[in-house]
Chain A
Amino acid sequence: MPTPHAVRAARFVADSDRAHWHDQALWFVRVKRDRMAQSLPEWEALRETAAGIKAHTLSRLGDFLEQFEERAIALGARVHWARDAAEHNAIVLSILESHDVKKVVKSKSMLTEECHLNPFLERHEIEVVDTDLGERIVQLAGEPPSHIVLPAIHKKKEDVGEIFHRFLKTEAGASDPKYLTEAARQHLREKFLASDAGITGVNFAVAETGGFVVCTNEGNADLGVSLPKLHIACMGIEKLIPRAADLGVFLRLLARSATGQPITTYSSHFHGPAAGGELHIVLVDNGRSKILESEEFRRSLNCIRCGACMNTCPVYRRSGGHSYDATVPGPIGSILGPARDAKKYAGLPHACSLCGSCTDVCPVKIDLHYQLLTWRGEIGRRGLLPWSKTIPMKLLAFVLKRPWLYALAGRIARRVLPLVPRWLLYNRLNDWGRQRELPQIPKHSFREIYERRQRQSQ
């Protein structure tokens, strides 16, 4: 039985041109990242430092969160704590309702995606407009982002032209990126001007200052919170770092890893509300403290959401972000997914060839492919593996535990397989043979030849 990912991936791969285009587009980002990383001789030391800072922060996360809350309040912000997505959404709604907000602009936040905030607010008759260009594209298309940094990476410019023609009344068949971007710009300008509140994510929150940083390339976070009086910043509790000095480490790693830029165009620092405005910070757990408790998976909270593991993942590049059916796709998503719902996402750790490229590319040194492997074992332990996997493996183990049976089975297979007609050998159930030849079967195994060789030499 193929996993849901395998089914969706096969569908993606079936459009070979598009799959190759998708692979090339992301590989291009990986190459840009390589160039940037290779230009810093201290790259590995930076990664090591970042991982160390994260490990230290996570070891006393509660203390740092309280410190952050205290300092943020001192700066005039209001701090809210949300146990899960529902609490987060309810808090955001109540803030918006108390200000009679009808229109919200939002800059990119994977957390609000994770909490499904948009549909929740829309159900309460509040308009939410994503202002990141890529996010706006997928929002108009009615799709979730397929990548955490490049939400519309699965869309070609022609696709964007069609979406904009439908919603923004651009010319039919237009695909010039400059023209389309300008149309989006004009459209978003209106939304910015008409908004009653701005919601942002948080890239880094600093415990010692009570401030936080939002990184964008389009300046949409600044614009979104400069015009309205109300700013709500939503962050997962793992976004914390202890000191402002630590920012230097992470900002240098983030943009280089994410898009191959030395730094994001805008790194916006917020310390308390703007003059005459209100700032609310919502701290969200939503399963993070459960991950924090686990020795094996704790390091996955190091993640700074740069997306480098997606860009480098040979499977992600060829299967598309939507094949994972999770808020965060790719290698890190295949670890976070099962942590949230092991049953629903039991197949994701298998959507991986265990090549380890993600582990080597990760700027905060999450041992991604080891964690994916650990999840496979965990899923087995919890009895969530399908019988189509467990039964053949039990049989295989039965044979492999008995050297004589193993040797005999091999001898029989080598006799029988060459006699099987091709049409029968390459049957519908032979997934190996659909596009590949089976190995040419030798007359004798290594052990048979070796034994003969030893006898002769004596």
Chain B
Amino acid sequence: MIERMQVGLFIPCYIDQFYPQVGLATVEVLERQGVEVDFPAAQTCCGQPLANTGCLEDARPLARNFFNIFQKYEYVVCPSGSCTAMVRHHYEQFFPGDHDFEEFSHRVFELCEFLTDVLHVERIDGKFPHRVGLHQSCHGLRELRLAKSSELVAESFNKAQKLLGSLEGIEFSELTRSDECCGFGGTFAVAEEAVSCMMGRDRIFDHERAGTQVLTALDMSCLMHLDGLLRRDKKTMRVMHVAEILAGREV
């Protein structure tokens, strides 16, 4: 028997608490690719809210815990570009000169990039006959480089869109601002509530104009903010995490 690849599942705290269906979809997507998934229950949060507020000393023990919990896995996979970027791009300050951590950080992946770059998945079986608006969550886009950002002059690519695009019947919305921030921004969403909500509504307006039926993203946090606005404004547009669509969930 061939030994199956085992990955440590890193579920962001807010997905654990508010969006368990996204975590389950992630497990299913990975298992269907023949991967053995393990969720270590000692995990809580990567510490990004603390670090982004400037409370680095409060974040430090969480980074330590994270490393201790996940170090043993061959790969760590997370259904969030932002939380993955926190570990891969911003943890280094907590582990200066630590080669074990340096090596480990390259084994932490966002779900879609794990599928395309590690498992070399070319297509996902299934169908999704809807017009989908893919929101480019910023940290996945500009820190993990999961797609080409609109500012750069380079060849176009988009890892999530490539996977989604293999689903039967899916259509994508054409936006006027292809990758503008939705305004979530962690504590920014409440600290700069007025600007944050204006940014969110502007994104929604762009998607409405483009005919988006289902708004999706690599980060549930962006979608939590956008969904909050959609529901308050009584709009019919639905939000779904990319993992849910890839797992074959119905709208």
**A interface vs B, CB < 8 Å?**
2-3, 5-6, 9-10, 13-14, 16, 19-20, 23, 27, 34, 37-38, 40-41, 43-44, 312, 314-315, 318-319, 349-357, 359-361, 369, 373, 376-381, 385, 389-390, 393-394, 396-397, 399-403, 406, 410, 413-414, 431-432, 434-442, 444-451, 453
* Cβ contact within 8 Å between B16 and A447: yes
Nearest to B143 among chain A residues (CB) is A356
Give every chain B residue within 8 A of A352 (Cβ-Cβ). Answer: 185, 188
* A406 vs B65: C-alpha distance when bound (angstroms): 14
With A354-B52, A360-B142, A390-B55 given, is the CB distance from A451 to B177 under 8 Å?
Answer: no
* Cβ contact within 8 Å between B90 and A397: no
Give every chain A residue within 8 A of B35 (Cβ-Cβ). Answer: none
* Cβ contact within 8 Å between B41 and A400: no
Give every chain B residue within 8 A of A393 (Cβ-Cβ). Answer: 49-50, 53, 55, 58
Contact with A along B80-94 (1 / 0, CB 8 A): 000000000010010
Q: Is the interface of B mostly helix, strand, loop or mixed?
A: helix
Nearest to A315 among chain B residues (CB) is B195
Nearest to B229 among chain A residues (CB) is A436
Does B27 sit within 8 A of A, measured CB to CB?
A: yes
With A44-B152, A314-B199, A397-B61 given, is the CB distance from A353 to B188 under 8 Å?
Answer: yes
* A446 vs B55: C-alpha distance when bound (angstroms): 27
With A13-B194, A380-B53 given, is the CB distance from A355 to B44 under 8 Å?
Answer: no
Give every chain A residue within 8 A of B195 (Cβ-Cβ). Answer: 6, 9-10, 13, 315, 318-319
Give every chain A residue within 8 A of B167 (Cβ-Cβ). Answer: none
- 5 closest Cβ contacts across the A-B interface? A353-B185, A436-B228, A380-B54, A356-B142, A355-B181
> Of the candidates B11, B50, B61, B138, which one forms a contact with A446 in the assembled complex, judged by CB atoms under 8 Å apart?
B11
| A389 to B: closest C-beta gap in Å | 6
Give every chain B residue within 8 A of A361 (Cβ-Cβ). Answer: 151
**Which B17-74 residues have C-beta < 8 A from chain A?**
17-24, 27, 39, 41-45, 47, 49-59, 61-62, 65
Nearest to B20 among chain A residues (CB) is A446
* A314 vs B192: C-alpha distance when bound (angstroms): 12
Give every chain B residue within 8 A of A445 (Cβ-Cβ). Answer: 16-17, 20
* Cβ contact within 8 Å between B54 and A2: no
Nearest to B185 among chain A residues (CB) is A353
| B90 to A: closest C-beta gap in Å | 7
* A38 vs B187: C-alpha distance when bound (angstroms): 34
* A355 vs B237: C-alpha distance when bound (angstroms): 24
**B interface vs A, CB < 8 Å?**
11, 13-24, 27, 39, 41-45, 47, 49-59, 61-62, 65, 90, 93, 138-139, 141-143, 149-154, 177, 179-181, 183-200, 202, 224-225, 227-229, 231-232
With A353-B199, A401-B62 given, is the CB distance from A9 to B194 under 8 Å?
Answer: yes
* Cβ contact within 8 Å between B138 and A356: yes
* Cβ contact within 8 Å between A10 and B193: yes
* Cβ contact within 8 Å between B191 and A400: no
* A436 vs B232: C-alpha distance when bound (angstroms): 6
Give every chain B residue within 8 A of A369 (Cβ-Cβ). Answer: 142
* A318 vs B151: C-alpha distance when bound (angstroms): 19
* Cβ contact within 8 Å between A2 and B58: no
> Of the candidates B23, B143, B193, which one forms a contact with A435 in the assembled complex, judged by CB atoms under 8 Å apart?
B193
* Cβ contact within 8 Å between A449 and B20: yes
* Cβ contact within 8 Å between A40 and B181: no
| B93 to A: closest C-beta gap in Å | 8
Nearest to A381 among chain B residues (CB) is B56
Give every chain B residue within 8 A of A377 (Cβ-Cβ). Answer: 51, 54, 56, 93
* Cβ contact within 8 Å between A449 and B24: yes
* A139 vs B56: C-alpha distance when bound (angstroms): 43
* A280 vs B233: C-alpha distance when bound (angstroms): 60
> Of the candidates A314, A432, A442, which one forms a contact with B19 in the assembled complex, judged by CB atoms under 8 Å apart?
A442
| B26 to A: closest C-beta gap in Å | 9
A-B residue pairs in contact (CB < 8 Å), sample of 11: A19-B198, A37-B151, A353-B138, A360-B142, A380-B54, A380-B56, A401-B62, A432-B189, A446-B15, A446-B17, A449-B24
Give every chain A residue within 8 A of B150 (Cβ-Cβ). Answer: 34
Nearest to A323 among chain B residues (CB) is B195
* A44 vs B152: C-alpha distance when bound (angstroms): 7
* Cβ contact within 8 Å between B55 and A394: yes
Nearest to B190 among chain A residues (CB) is A431
